[in-house]
């Protein structure tokens, strides 16, 4: 999509289903980075872009969480987009099994599933 020739990117108010795009790369880069391909909010903030680069360079979880906190604070202050809810994800699992996992994009992972011993 290209600004100036896209009904989606050029709309005054847009509604997008992000449920199947639940990775930090999509949420943080494609939709909010100044040069992001899906930046429908037209969000342009050099400080945010720099934090995103720091986030991608973080070598461990603690460093990534530190930068993520800064990104969160900036986005709460600026509020370029509102992601209101994820309605499609009811996850019901029998109490007779354990180890069922789901990803942020609603993939069902069964590689660790086993029956609960009575």
Q: Residue 53: helix, strand or coil by DSSP? A: helix
Closest CA to 51 of 26, 37, 69, 35: 69
Considering just the CA atoms, what is the radius of gyration of the chain in Å?
A: 18
The CB-based long-range contact list for 70-74 (8 Å cut-off, 24+ gap) reads 71/28, 74/45, 74/47, 74/48
The pLDDT assigned to 104 comes to 67
pTM of the predicted structure, to 2 decimals: 0.65
Q: How far apart are the first and last CA of the chain?
A: 55
- Which tens digit of pLDDT belongs to each residue from 11-68? 777 776 666 666 777 778 888 999 988 888 889 999 999 999 999 999 999 999 999 9
Report CA 9 to chain centroid distance, whole Å: 18
The answer to whether 116 and 97 have CB atoms below 8 angstroms apart is yes
Domain residue limits, the chain: 1-87, 90-118
Q: What is the mean pLDDT of the chain?
A: 84
87, pLDDT greater than 70: no
The pLDDT assigned to 30 comes to 85
């Amino acid at each position: 999509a290209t600004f100036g020739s896209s009904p989606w990117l050029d709309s005054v108010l847009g509604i997008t289903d992000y449920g199947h795009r639940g990775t930090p790369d999509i949420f943080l880069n494609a939709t909010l980075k100044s040069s992001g391909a899906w930046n429908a909010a037209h969000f342009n903030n050099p400080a945010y872009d720099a934090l995103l680069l720091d986030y991608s360079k973080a070598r461990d979880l603690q460093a990534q969480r530190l930068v993520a906190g800064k990104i969160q604070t900036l986005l709460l202050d600026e509020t370029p987009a509102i992601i209101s809810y994820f309605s499609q994800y009811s996850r019901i699992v029998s109490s007779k099994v354990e180890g069922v996992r789901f990803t942020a994009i609603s993939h069902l992972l069964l590689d660790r599933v086993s029956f609960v011993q009575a």
